[in-house]
Amino acid sequence: MRHLSLAVIIAIFGGGGVVAQQPQFFNTVDGSPLNFDDAMEEGRDTEAVKEFLETGVNIYNENEEVMKEAEDIYNTMCSGCHGHYGEGKIGPGLNDDYWTYPQNETDVGLFSTLYGGATGQMGPMWGSLTLDEMLLAMAWVRHLYTGEPDTAGWLTPEQQEEFTPYKPKGGAEE
Ligand code: HEC
């Protein structure tokens, strides 16, 4: 019985991947729980958003069909501060494995940063992007990753095998 109740406790309070469970979202800076009440009506119940809120998996990652749209959203909403290739400008680089906030190593953490913002110029995105667009912007940030595939924990093992670290080419489109 002791083992059973331990399993139940892990299931309820979050064993971080031990037991499949809904991810929990927290503000990147102050750690307060995030709910998505303020999210725009549009784009709340796409397949990708539903899947992500259930499992923390972003089905747009390395999904050819949405990459163009993902790139456009990033270039409109993020590149001005983070650079065309995520190399960093007035905002920090997003294309390597160094994170000011280590939670951004996971897609649940990255989504929380987009939704709730961080400090200074990194304002919350809930008024500017739909939840679905946040997942698209994230997919492009992940696509720009220049680190080794085995450090890309947001990819499935199969995707890691396929993944080639992004190589910025002077101004040309990928
Ligand atoms: C107006 C400028 C600006 C825009 C636009 C902007 N950011 Fe930021 N971003 C910043 C700054 C400045 C920081 C550093 C904030 C901090 O450290 O608290 C930051 C921090 C971040 C971080 C945390 C990085 C880390 O090392 O942990 C992520 C992730 C991020 N931004 C992603 C994005 C994405 C994706 C977009 C577009 C949807 C975006 N940002 C749009 C300025 C911006």
In this prediction, residue 2 has a pLDDT band, given cuts at 50, 70 and 90, of low
Over residues 60-86, mean pLDDT? 98
All residues at 6 or more sequence positions from 37 whose CB lies less than 8 Å from its CB, including other chains: none
For residue 29, the ligand 1 atom closest to its alpha carbon is: 18
Instruction: For the domain made up of 21-162, give the CATH fold.
Output: Cytochrome Bc1 Complex; Chain D, domain 2 (1.10.760)
The yes-or-no verdict on residue 114 having pLDDT over 90 is yes
**What is the distance between the alpha carbons of residues 113 and 5, in angstroms, rounded to a whole number?**
34
| Ligand 1 pocket member 121 (CB < 6 A) | yes
Q: What whole-number percentage of the chain has pLDDT above 70? A: 86
Quote the pLDDT of residue 108. 98
Quote the pLDDT of residue 174. 44
Residue scoring higher pLDDT (168 or 43): 43
The yes-or-no verdict on residue 14 having pLDDT over 70 is no
> Where in the chain are the domains?
21-162
Quote the pLDDT of residue 102. 97
Please name the residue whose Cα sits nearest to atom 34 of ligand 1: 78
Residue scoring higher pLDDT (3 or 85): 85
Quote the pLDDT of residue 8. 52
The yes-or-no verdict on residue 3 having pLDDT over 50 is yes
Q: Is 3 labelled as part of a ligand binding site? A: no
Over residues 80-107, mean pLDDT? 97
Ligand 1 centroid vs 39 CA: distance in angstroms?
A: 19
Q: Is 84 labelled as part of a ligand binding site? A: no
For residue 99, the ligand 1 atom closest to its alpha carbon is: 26
Over residues 67-80, mean pLDDT? 98
| Lowest pLDDT segment from 1-10, 25-34, 110-119 | 1-10
> Rounded to two decimals, what is the model's pTM?
0.89
Instruction: Choose one of 78, 122, 133, 138 to mutate for the ligand 1 pocket test, by most ligand atoms within 8 angstroms of C-beta.
Output: 122
Residue of 96, 99, 151 whose CA lies nearest to 122: 99
Please name the residue whose Cα sits nearest to atom 36 of ligand 1: 78
3-state secondary structure of 33: strand
The yes-or-no verdict on residue 39 having pLDDT over 80 is yes
The yes-or-no verdict on residue 113 having pLDDT over 70 is yes
| Ligand 1 pocket member 125 (CB < 6 A) | yes
Residue 38 burial (10 A CB sphere; 0-12, 13-18, 19+): exposed
